[in-house]
């Protein structure tokens, strides 16, 4: 049964990652289409500018009308309007100025300017659209398009798909959080530990800040003897919005008051390490504070980003006997398993 739970949960996590990868792939695919559209806009702008020059030269004396050239220019502007929103007007010399988006000039007289794709600094792999005018003056035009294929692609890439990704991440986070909250305070066949390291480490700045997402309340650690009997229960009070990880470690060690039984420390990577003395082990008890869930202690799923990286916790992958089913090492107890199963109908 535990192996089945592991396999099914691993498949579920894999599906989340797969869906995230598909959405990311769609955004990258749109990037490629945007590059092609940028090239089309530039080619049509070049065509209009060249026709402006030819029409002005042909009609310069005022005696002739360059009908074919004008038709070709109108067609180029019409083709352009399929890609971006266009406004155009003709000057007294027969040359057409073309404005795209809200207010950016693509063609003015015989001069044409161009669009250029540029990778965003803040979001890896996403293309920004710059307008490049005289003297290499640049302006970000990504958000100025309101109509045409360019606008539709940008809305799909930056709004619709991003919203899908956000919703998918929220579902993955919610699933992991609810399962981990129940799993963290439970016990499995081999759940009593001599040593446990938190999944998530904190950088130096975060170590000096109150731990996020905590709740006011206590969390319990049970000291266990070699026969899986609970010898002692330690209750550590947590103050949300105030306690840093060093504060919690200090309070935990003061409460236990004997490093030969159980001690807490902070590793070089900013993770929490719990370690019992020889001939002792420990398990988690009640956790009103959510600290086990926040740090990734005795977790079932691990995730920092949601659907992108959700996976089974390493200690579950290594040994299915670490899957929590009951509480307090009571043989045959399945209270935690039943509570997790109920999540399906909530």
**Cβ-based neighbours of 227, under 8 Å, separated by 6 or more:** none
At 265, give phi and psi (nearest 5°).
-150, 165
Higher-scoring residue by pLDDT: 340, 213:
213
3-state secondary structure of 231: strand
Reported in sequence order, the residue ranges of the chain that DSSP labels E, i.e. its strands, are 86-90, 96-100, 104-108, 111-112, 114-119, 127-132, 138-140, 195-197, 217-224, 230-238, 262-266, 272-276, 281-287, 301-302, 311-312
Domain ranges of the chain: 13-160, 188-345
Instruction: Tell me the average pLDDT across 294-320.
Output: 88
Q: Does pLDDT of 104 surpass 80?
A: yes
- The per-residue pLDDT of the chain, averaged, comes to 90
Q: Does pLDDT of 122 surpass 60?
A: no
Instruction: Say if residue 67 is exposed, middle or buried (CB neighbours under 10 Å; 0-12, 13-18, 19+).
Output: exposed
Residue 118, strand partner residues: 128
pLDDT, residue 187, reads: 76
pLDDT, residue 346, reads: 65
Lowest mean pLDDT among 110-114, 126-130, 235-239: 126-130
pLDDT, residue 124, reads: 60
Cα–Cα distance for residue pair 333/18, rounded to 1 Å: 35
**DSSP H helical segments within 228-267, as ranges?**
245-256
Instruction: Tell me the average pLDDT across 253-270.
Output: 94
Segment 33-75, tens digit of pLDDT:
999 999 999 999 999 999 999 999 988 767 788 999 999 999 9
Q: What secondary structure does DSSP assign to 117-182, as a single string?
A: EEE-SSSTTPEEEEEE-GGG-EEE-TTT--SHHHHHHHHIIIIIHHHHHHHHHHHHHHHHHHHHHH
In the chain, pLDDT over 90 holds for what percent of residues?
A: 62
pLDDT, residue 90, reads: 93
């Amino acid at each position: 049964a535990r192996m089945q739970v592991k396999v099914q949960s691993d498949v579920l996590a894999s599906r989340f990652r797969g869906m995230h990868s598909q959405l990311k792939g769609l955004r990258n695919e749109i990037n490629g289409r945007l590059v092609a559209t940028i090239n089309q806009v530039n080619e049509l702008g070049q065509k209009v500018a060249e026709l402006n020059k030819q029409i002005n030269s042909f009609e310069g004396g005022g005696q002739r009308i360059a009908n074919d050239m004008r038709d070709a220019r109108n067609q180029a502007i019409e083709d352009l309007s399929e890609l971006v929103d266009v406004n155009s007007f003709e000057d007294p010399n027969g040359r057409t100025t073309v404005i795209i988006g809200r207010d950016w000039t693509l063609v003015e007289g015989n001069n044409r300017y161009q669009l250029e794709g540029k990778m965003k600094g803040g979001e890896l792999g996403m293309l920004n659209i710059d307008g490049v005018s005289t003297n290499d003056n640049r302006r970000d035009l990504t958000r100025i398009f309101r109509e045409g294929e360019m606008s539709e692609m940008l809305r799909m890439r930056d709004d619709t798909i991003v919203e899908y990704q956000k919703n998918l991440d929220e579902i993955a986070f919610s699933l992991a959080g609810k399962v981990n909250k129940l799993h963290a305070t439970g016990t499995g066949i081999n759940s009593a530990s001599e040593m446990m390291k938190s999944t998530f480490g904190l950088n130096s700045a975060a170590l000096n800040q109150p731990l996020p997402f905590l709740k006011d309340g206590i969390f319990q650690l049970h000291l266990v003897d070699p026969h899986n009997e609970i010898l002692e229960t330690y209750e550590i009070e947590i103050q949300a919005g105030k306690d840093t990880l060093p504060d919690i470690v200090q309070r935990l060690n003061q409460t236990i008051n004997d490093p030969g039984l159980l001690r807490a420390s902070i590793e070089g990577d900013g993770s929490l390490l719990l370690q019992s003395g020889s001939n002792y082990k420990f398990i988690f008890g009640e956790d009103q504070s959510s600290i086990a869930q926040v740090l990734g202690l005795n977790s079932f799923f691990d995730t920092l980003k949601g659907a992108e990286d959700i996976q089974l916790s390493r200690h579950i992958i290594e040994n299915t006997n670490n899957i929590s089913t009951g509480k307090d090492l009571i043989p045959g107890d399945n209270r935690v398993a039943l509570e997790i199963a109920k999540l399906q109908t909530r």
